[in-house]
Amino acid sequence: MLYDFSSRVALVTGASGGIGRATAIAFAACGARVLVSDVNDAGGEETVAMIAAAGGEAVYQHCNVADAAEVKAMVARAVDAWGRLDFAHNNAGITNLAASEYDDAVWDRSLGINLTGVMLCMREEAEVMLKSGGGAIVNTSSINGLTGNAAQPAYVATKHGVVGLTRHGALRWAKAGIRVNAVCPGVIETPMTAPLTADPAMRKIVDGMTPMGRMGRAEEVAAAVLFLCSDAASFITGHPLVVDGGATVQ
C-alpha cells in the first residue's frame, strides 16, 4: 500500500482497461472505495471484479462523459454508495489514428469526449467536493497537450484544452481545498495503442521514441495519478505532470 486511502472514495472514468483500469485498481489497493466508469460495460464490470478479487470495494456505473445527465448520475452514484467523493481521475478519451480528424463528425466526437467530457466531470465532482471540504482531481491529457503532431489535429487540440481546464480549475478552487492537476502520458502500452504496435517493426520504432527505449506501462501513469491525489502532493495544483520516459526532452 503506497498510500493510505482508507475511508476515501475515488472515481475513475475510462476504467474498462488501460490507464483507467490501472488507476482504479491502484486506488483500491490503497484502501479507497472506487466508482469505476466507462461506456464499455463488460470491461468496466471486469475491472470491478478484479478489484473485488483482490479484496477491494468498487461499483460500476455506465457513463458517456459527453452527456451531462450521465455525468451527473455517475457522480451521484458515488455519493449514494459511500456518502462522499475525495478523488477523481477524469481519464476517458479517444484518439483516431486511422481517420481524418478534420472530418466534422470525428472532430465533434473528439471534442465532446476529450474536452467537454472533462469539463462536465470536473463541474460535478467539484460541486460534491466543495460540500465536504475539498478533494483532488486529476485529468488525463497527453504529451500532445504540451507539444503537437502533424497527424491528429482534434487529439492535439483537445488535449491542450485539458491542460487549460486543469489550470482553470486549480485557480478556481484552490482556496476551497480542491487541487486540480493533469497527467500527460507519452506512448503507453494500452488497448488504445495496441493497433499501433501490433506490427513488430512498428513496435521497434515506437519503443525507440523515448530515451528509455520502451513504451510506458499503464501502472506507471496510475502511480503518478495517486501521487497527485495524495498528501505528498499537498502543495501541487495546476500542474501537467509528464509521464513519458523522456520523450519531450529530446
Sign, CA dihedral 191-194-196-202, equals positive
**Whose CA is closest to 92, among 70, 72, 66?**
66
Q: What is the pLDDT of residue 71?
A: 98
- Residue 199 pLDDT: 86
Average pLDDT for consecutive 10-residue bins of the chain (250 residues)? 93 98 98 98 98 98 98 98 98 80 86 98 98 97 94 93 98 98 94 81 87 95 98 98 95
Q: Which residues pair with 189 in a beta bridge?
A: 217
- Please give the grid coordinates belonging to residue 117: 467530457
CA distances from 186 to 117, 160, 244 (A): 21, 14, 4
Would you kindly state where each structural domain of the chain is located, as residue ranges? Answer: 9-239
3, 60, 102, 155: the catalytic one is 155
Largest CA distance in the chain: 52
| pLDDT, tens digit (0-9, with 9 covering 90-100), for 182-205 | 999 999 998 877 777 888 888 888
DSSP result, 165-202: HHHHHHHHHGGGTEEEEEEEE-SEESTTTHHHHSSHHH
Distance between CA atoms of 108 and 104, rounded to whole angstroms?
6
Measured CA to CA, the distance from residue 14 to residue 19 in angstroms comes to 8
Q: What is the pTM of this model?
A: 0.95
pLDDT in tens, 157-190: 999 999 999 999 999 999 999 999 999 999 999 8
| 3 carries an active-site annotation | no
Non-local (6+) Cβ contacts of 186 within 8 A are 143, 209, 210, 216, 242, 243, 244, 245, 247, 248
Straight-line distance from the first to the last Cα atom of the chain, in angstroms, rounded to the nearest whole number: 34
The fourth-level CATH superfamily of domain 9-239 is NAD(P)-binding Rossmann-like Domain (3.40.50.720)
